[in-house]
Amino acid sequence: MTPSEVADLSDRLLADGSQAFNDQQTMARLELVLLKTLKTPDKTYRAVLWRNLGIIHYHQQKYKQAEHDLQSANELNPKNPRTHFYLACLFAHKGRIYEKAGKTRSSQQQYKRAAIEIGLARKLEPSNSLYKQDIKQIIQQENEK
C-alpha cells in the first residue's frame, strides 16, 4: 500500500464512533502498517500517519507513546484540529490521573494544557460539534465505556 492509501484507510478506521476501536486485532494490524509506512522515504503523509498512530496508542491507553506520536504529528502539521483534540483528551486524562493521585498542581497543569489544545481544535474547526464539548465530560464518557 502507498502512504496515501495507508493514510486514507487509517482515517476511515479511526473515524469518530468507529467500531474498529473495539477490535484489538484490527488496531494491532493497523499499528504495524502505520509503523512500517512511517519508515518509507515519502514524507507527504507523515503527519497523518503519526496522528493516527497516536490515536491508536491513546485508545490502547499507552499514553506516553500516544503523546510522543501526537506531538510528532503536531510538529509536522500544527494546523490539524484532530491532532489538537486528541492532545486535549490525552492531557485531560493525565490530569485526571494526577487528580486521583492527589497531585493537585500536576493535575491543574495537565488540565490547562488540555484547555489550550481543545481551544486550538475549536479555532481550527469551529463547526465540529465534538470539539465544542467539555473535555472533562469526554474523558468521563470514555471511562464509562
| pLDDT tens digits along 63-78 | 999 999 999 999 999 9
Tell me which long-range contacts 6-14 makes (C-beta under 8 A, separation of at least 24).
Answer: 6/33, 6/34, 6/37, 6/45, 6/49, 7/45, 7/48, 7/49, 7/52, 9/33, 10/34, 10/48, 10/49, 10/52, 11/48, 11/52, 14/52, 14/55, 14/56
Contacts of residue 24, Cβ cutoff 8 Å, sequence gap at least 6: none
Of 32, 48, 78, the last residue of a domain is: 78
Average pLDDT over residues 88-106: 94
Give the range among 16-25, 79-88, 116-125, 128-137 with minimum mean pLDDT.
16-25
Of 49, 78, 107, the last residue of a domain is: 78
Q: State the pTM of this model.
A: 0.89
Radius of gyration for the chain, computed over Cα atoms and rounded to the nearest angstrom: 15
Q: Are residues 15 and 70 in the same domain?
A: yes
Name the residue range of residue 139's domain.
Answer: 80-145
Q: Are residues 105 and 144 in the same domain?
A: yes
Q: Are residues 59 and 93 in the same domain?
A: no
Which of residues 55 and 138 earns the better pLDDT score? 55
Q: Are residues 100 and 69 in the same domain?
A: no
Q: Are residues 32 and 91 in the same domain?
A: no
Domain count, the chain: 2
**Would you give the end-to-end CA distance of the chain in angstroms?**
33
130: which 3 cell numbers? 465534538
